Amino acid sequence: MNKEKLSVGKILVYLFLIFWALTTIYPIIWVIQNSFKAKDKILSNSFALPFGELFTAANYRKAFGNLNILGAYKNSIFISFVVCACVVLFAGMCAYALSRYSFKGSGFLYSLVVASMMFPVYATIIPVFTMEAKWGITNTSSWFLTMISVILPQVAGNLAFAIIVLVGYIKGLPIELEEAAFMEGCNAYQIFFKVIVPLTKPSFATVAIFGFLWSYNDLFTQMFFLRRPEMRAITRLLNELTSQEGTNYGLMAAAVTLVVVPVVIVYIFLQKYIIKGMTAGAVKG
Amino acid sequence: MGANIYKNKKPALIFMIPAFLFMIVYLYYPFFMNIFNSFQQIKTLGGTSKGMIDPWYWNYAEMFRDVNVGVSLKNTLIMMLVTLLGQVGMAILLAIMVDNVKHLKGFFKTVYFFPIVVSATALGLLFNLIFLYDKGMLNQLLETFGRTELIDWKAEGIALFTMMLPVMWQYVGFYFVILITGLNNISDELYEAAYIDGCTTIQKVRYISLPLLRNVICTCSVLAVTGALKVFDLPWTMFPKGMPLKTTFLTGTYMYYQTMEAKNVDYGSALAVLIVVLGFVLSKVVNAIFKETDY
């Protein structure tokens, strides 16, 4: 049974699987090769590789020169990193309390967490904006406050999912290690940081990766809070590009490449955790 | 013994405060405030209410009069069918195929999942280039196959197709991974028994894999249906403001349009309530469908 017999049916199956694989890989290769071509070549000869006469780096010079793509990167990475760190810390602490302490109402608190997953961002964004406008952290010229105004709702949006994943994991840990630490004289805080956190690392990785990618790719929240050009994060910049430079196809290809390639590289190295993280976040969507 | 460590409940409180503070301030309060807002008069984002709208149910009555609500509900419904049949269906097909071959399994999983990691906004730009009228990737490809006429992929009749194809394509891999995990959980002994009884591969799939995947398929369907209600990035990047002629609105993009472009903030809130209600009802419906035909 170990050797695969190649019948006509099997070959068709392989062909179909490879066809679907091509639909997911080829568009990316296509956009990368076209990012090195001038506009008229993209429109007439997009399947050729950009060698010899076809090659130009002008799109990239323009992307770095006019678009402030590095600034957008800086904003994006700052936002996503802080969101990810806050989610991991707060969700970790909360999940630990919910899974180890038994007290009246803990079941109710957990169901509050689960219920909050049902709130789509559409249903909360307007009051959140009003609230932040009252605090004076939206629409200001302060870079830091503007970043905070995006970070806070994104943290809240990720907490529930993270708590649910982490509770599932922490409940499965043997309590003996915590008992041993307690005998050694550790208090609850020390137990959390020295015993629980190291043991829960794989699950933290899942949650962190999901939070980071979700925040990095989330256009909707950015559309509301990042209005000023110098504050734009990467997806917001791309969105702006369609309306302002909609016909500059070379520049668009270069911008897409600049956004996608780092993600591809990270994905290749961390795919195991990423796939796990994104599907554990299934319930979130 | 374990109880001893956790007898003192004060740390629990401190551990939970930050997370619950976030959830109350940024999820629960806004959620209920949004319902309240949908009965108010608010014309600027971030502005204060000018009091109760008259009559109080105005925004909800408006939904029935608003042609665009009809359009976006119709489009969202089509989107749900596309995600159910296209995404989940295609994912089932791919998962079963991959489960039955020996080589390249890991490669297929990596590659199929890949589009989900990329931001939908970037994919929107990419597909704009692919579907370009004069001439993007597809029209160039058709030309090499001998077609002389260019297709305007964003024209009225075909725009919905152009919008939904990338959305469908992006998330197939997501359901694929969930389903393949489900397939891996099916015990090999069942397949061996079937093999000894002389089952063909098709019988094996029909009588073992699919029935045992039932719950996983149910989960995927709920996710696909509720996901379709929330799609925003890709449609908004490819077809901003419901163009052409407001025919491509979805519930999510229409809510954004009313709030940000048309400055009807209270009406936008009411549309958000509609999204919540639809999501809730539809996930119940999908669950019920899968339960009823139990065997």
Q: pLDDT tens digits, residue range A12-32?
A: 999 999 999 999 998 898 888
Residue A83 Cα, gap to closest chain B Cα (Å)? 12
Report yes or no on B9 lying in a domain. no
> What CATH number did the domain enclosing B278 receive?
1.10.3720.10
Write down the pTM of the prediction: 0.84
Q: How many domains does chain B contain in total?
A: 1
Residue B293 Cα, gap to closest chain A Cα (Å)? 24
Report the pLDDT value the prediction gives residue A284, as an integer from 0 to 100. 42
pLDDT tens-digit series, residues A61-89: 887 877 788 888 889 999 999 999 999 99
Report yes or no on B27 lying in a domain. no
* Yes or no, beta carbons of B2 and A123 under 8 Å apart: no
Report the pLDDT value the prediction gives residue B62, as an integer from 0 to 100. 83
* Residue B135 contacts A where some CB pair is shorter than 8 Å: yes
- Could you give phi then psi for residue A50, rounded to 5 degrees? -80, 70
pLDDT tens-digit series, residues B49-79: 777 777 888 888 888 888 888 888 999 999 9
Query: What domain range is B110 assigned to?
Result: 69-292
Q: Which residues of chain A have pLDDT under 70?
A: 1-5, 246, 280-285
pLDDT tens-digit series, residues B83-124: 888 889 999 999 999 988 888 888 898 899 888 888 888 888
Neighbours of A73 (CB within 10 A): 16
Report yes or no on B204 lying in a domain. yes
Nearest to B259 by CA among A235, A146, A137, A126: A126
Report yes or no on B229 lying in a domain. yes
Collapsing DSSP to helix, strand or coil, B52 comes out as strand
Give the torsion through C-alpha atoms of A182, A186, A190, A193, to 10 deg.
Answer: -40
Mean of the per-residue pLDDT values for chain B?
85
Report the pLDDT value the prediction gives residue A87, as an integer from 0 to 100. 94
Report yes or no on B149 lying in a domain. yes
Report yes or no on B186 lying in a domain. yes
Range of weakest confidence among A205-209, B3-7, B146-150, B194-198: B3-7
From A155, A191, A253, residue closest to B22, measured CB to CB = A155
Percent of chain B residues past pLDDT 70, beyond the cut? 98
- CA–CA distance, A27 with B135 (Å, rounded to integer): 15
Report the pLDDT value the prediction gives residue B197, as an integer from 0 to 100. 86
Question: Helices A69-100 and A143-171 sit at what angle, rounded to 10 degrees?
Answer: 40
Domain regions of chain A by residue span: 8-61, 68-244
Report the pLDDT value the prediction gives residue A249, as an integer from 0 to 100. 83
Residue B188 Cα, gap to closest chain A Cα (Å)? 13
**ipTM of the shown complex:** 0.83
What residues of chain B lie within 8 A of the CB of A262, using their CB? none
Q: What average pLDDT does the segment B32-40 reach?
A: 88
A68-244 is classed CATH 1.10.3720.10: yes
pLDDT higher for A92 or B154?
A: A92
Nearest to B257 by CA among B78, B57, B69: B69
